[in-house]
Chains A and B, each alone.
Chain A
Amino acid sequence: MTRILLIEDDTETAEAILAELGDRGFEVQWAGNGVDGLDRARASSPDAMIVDRMLPGMNGLTIIETLRKDHIRTPVLVLSALGAVDDRVRGLRTGGDDYLTKPFALVELVARIEALLRRPTERRATRLQVGSLELDLIERTARRGERRLDLLPREFRLLEYMVRRNDQLLTRAMLLEEVWHYKFVPATTNLIDVHMGRLRHKVDGPGEAQLIHNVRGSGFVLRSRS
């Protein structure tokens, strides 16, 4: 069972996160302050950690720094009410692996934790395959069974990102940050949906099993099995 350590001082937020992650089958430990959190992180070596930035006793970033100095490489998702780009950069530079601004959607939190737990497929691979979908990373071509997919470079980039993280919920924010390198929220809110619509149209032909799924209100998944 995957074990997660949550270091968060706000009881209500913590309870909501505990309940949601519990429902998803995670075993979650909760520490209400920084000192306790650091002790538990050292003692129980969890698989992933969720750390609030502003904590009584010890700053969240200090905890991460301390752990990294001790060569504890547990993936950390930083939670913060500080949303500015600079704060985010500082959070990631300190050793956090991902950064989520409060307030956040629970699905977003779960998606990011799952992404942290499941590192993407080996980077050096030259071919990727999910079901009948095949990507040639050198030729930059894609096939669905016998059918050759005619993809634009931006569509190939998106598909490659999804294939590397198949069966994983990818939220719009994650796609914006990772595929388009957006550092801001675009005014047009359906930007990702339009791109995804195009890609899905090309990947899932008529009569073929659907690979790209829209998860209502959350994001998208590329499912290897239906």
Chain B
Amino acid sequence: MPQTQLIRSSTFLWALAVAASFALFVVALFAFIYWKLDAYLVARSDRMITTQISFVAELSPARRVSAIADHLAQDSRGVQYAGLFDAAGKRLAGNIDRVPRELGLDGAAQGVQLDLSEKPTAHSPVVRAVGRRLDGGDVLVMGRNVDETREISSVVGQALALGLLPAFSLCLLAGVWLSLRAQRRVEEVNQRVQRIVAGELRERLPEGGTDDPFARLARIVNGMLDEMETMINALAGVGNDIAHDLRTPLTRVRLALERGRTHAATLEQLQDVTDKAIAGIDQSLAIVTALLRLTEIENNRRMAGFGEVPLDEILREVCDVYEPIAEDKHVGLGVVTERSVQVWGDRDLLFEAVANLVDNAIKFTPSGGRVELALETEDDTALLRVSDTGPGISEQEREAVLRRFYRSDKIRSTPGIGLGLSLVAAIVKLHGFRLIIGPAPGGRIEILAWTGRAGRAITHRSRALLHADAGQMG
């Protein structure tokens, strides 16, 4: 139903409303002009007949008749009326039959109906007239037809038709055109969106060359689609990684259970098999948990816990937790920090990030090595560094380690689920901080945080532009 759609479309309705109000306004304007003009003309003719009657009244009775005849003879347009009557009401001169009944004598000019002697017209005209009683009982009446106003009204009407009708039609046409154009664009967008929904992820909305709001909206949506396409493609890759990392422990579980079922002869053997199976399942579950956690952080839902966080305390606490682990591995663990470094963030998440970095550093540092935690401040920034004497992260691997489930080939044998650094990256991103991975050899990962009031603003802004700084990491 394109017609009804067109009539219902808001653009069209707006155009209609604007055209209607424009027309109303113009009509009102012309009515005002007409009214003012009419009043002016009536006042002018009133003045004229008042002057004329005074002039004729001043004359001697003998000259009045000829003066009236002259006056009427000079009136080529036939708009002047005059009449001189004796006391009995009999006409002495002029073109009026008798004194109009409603005319008050010696008063101001007023509109009256005249009975005419010479013009046998069907209707007696309504004129402005003034009457005066003269000495000797005669009555003098003078009038003037103000039918000119009718002419003016017809001119006004013509002007109205000439100006208003085209303007009104133009408005309507513009409304129809704009609304059709908008509908066409919406329809085009609709078709493209349908294609995107159907799985055509490359499809984009038409942006056009102009800079109108519609084009800007299309550009915004296209930006979002770009981001989503990247994410979906990344997810597709991750899907395979997840499948791999989940399948590995599950395969072990399956094999252990299968072998246990056929070969276990004693309860102890069966328990041993079950323990293995449970361990494998737990590992799979740990992956799922870590993934959910990553999603939770990336989805940015944990803003509730934000507040002032003392970074130095977090460093000391993490160090306290990991000291025995490092000692067991004969890895030195030291912390160098300045006092009370406050950043705006989520304490638990920042603790988790630092703990993950330290955990990784200890894991990949060979026995006899050393892991150092350092916190330095400068102006509005705090630099948190976790460095170790391990192999570090090579140039080629830097991007990759931030991907989910990435585990360097060298360290495939090391236990872990390969989500540690992705988690750190997600937490850092959530805070609007920067994650810097230093060059190998020697592990060196830094978090550049913003301190004080400025930091708070940056963290808040980064929430709005979360995706924007994804490219700046690493």
Contact = CB atoms under 8 A, between A and B. Distances in A.
Contacts of B376: none
A180 to B, nearest CB: 6
A49 B355 CA distance: 35
Chain A residues touching B, majority SS: loop
Contacts of B415: 189
Nearest to B417: A187
A187 B348 contact: no
Interface stretch (A21-29, A137-145, A190-198): A190-198
Interface in A194-226: 194-195, 197-198, 217
B324 A187 contact: no
Contacts of A101: 289
B420 A191 contact: no
Contact of B356 (A85, A183, A187): A187
A1 interface: no
Contacts of B416: 187
A105 B279 CA distance: 11
Contact of A86 (B290, B302, B360, B417): B302
Nearest to B360: A187
B296 A188 contact: no
B245 interface: no
Nearest to A189: B415
A187 B318 CA distance: 13
Contacts of A183: 348, 352
Interface string B297-330: 0000110100000000000000011101100100
A186 B324 contact: no
A184 to B, nearest CB: 5
B285 interface: yes
Contacts of A197: 324
A217 B324 contact: no
Contacts of A84: 292-293, 296, 301
Contacts of A86: 296, 301-302, 304
B275 interface: yes
Contacts of B356: 187
Contacts of B328: 194
Contacts of B325: 188, 190-191, 194
Nearest to A217: B275
A127 interface: no
Given A84-B292, A194-B325, A198-B324, A187 B359 contact: yes
Interface residues of B, number: 30
A56 interface: no
A191 B293 contact: no
B460 interface: no
B352 A188 contact: no
Contacts of A188: 322, 325, 359, 362-363
Contacts of A186: 355, 359
A154 interface: yes
Contacts of B275: 217
Contacts of B217: none
Contact of A184 (B352, B362, B363): B352
B286 A85 contact: no
Given A186-B355, A188-B359, A188-B363, A180 B302 contact: no
Contacts of B324: 194-195, 197-198
B320 to A, nearest CB: 5
Contacts of A194: 324-325, 328
B286 A185 contact: yes
A187 B355 CA distance: 9
A194 B362 CA distance: 14
A191 B358 CA distance: 13
A162 to B, nearest CB: 17
A216 B359 CA distance: 25
Nearest to B281: A103
Nearest to A190: B325
Contact of A85 (B296, B360, B363): B296
Interface in A163-189: 180, 183-189
Contacts of A154: 320-321
Contacts of B289: 83, 101, 185
Contacts of B293: 84-85, 184
A184 B325 CA distance: 18
A154 B320 CA distance: 8
Q: Tell which of A86, A187, A195 has the most Cβ of chain B within 10 Å.
A: A187
Interface of A: 83-86, 101, 103, 105, 154, 180, 183-191, 194-195, 197-198, 217
Interface of B: 275, 278, 285-286, 289-290, 292-293, 296, 301-302, 304, 320-322, 324-325, 328, 348, 352, 355-356, 359-360, 362-363, 415-417, 420
19 contacts: A83-B289, A83-B292, A84-B293, A85-B296, A85-B302, A85-B348, A86-B296, A86-B302, A101-B289, A103-B285, A105-B278, A185-B290, A188-B322, A189-B415, A190-B325, A191-B325, A194-B328, A198-B324, A217-B278
Which 8 residue pairs spanning A and B have beta carbons closest together?
A183-B348, A187-B359, A194-B324, A84-B296, A184-B352, A188-B359, A194-B325, A198-B324
Given A83-B292, A105-B278, A187-B417, 19 more contacts: A83-B289, A86-B296, A86-B301, A101-B289, A154-B320, A154-B321, A184-B293, A185-B286, A185-B289, A186-B355, A187-B356, A187-B359, A188-B325, A188-B359, A190-B325, A191-B321, A194-B325, A197-B324, A217-B278
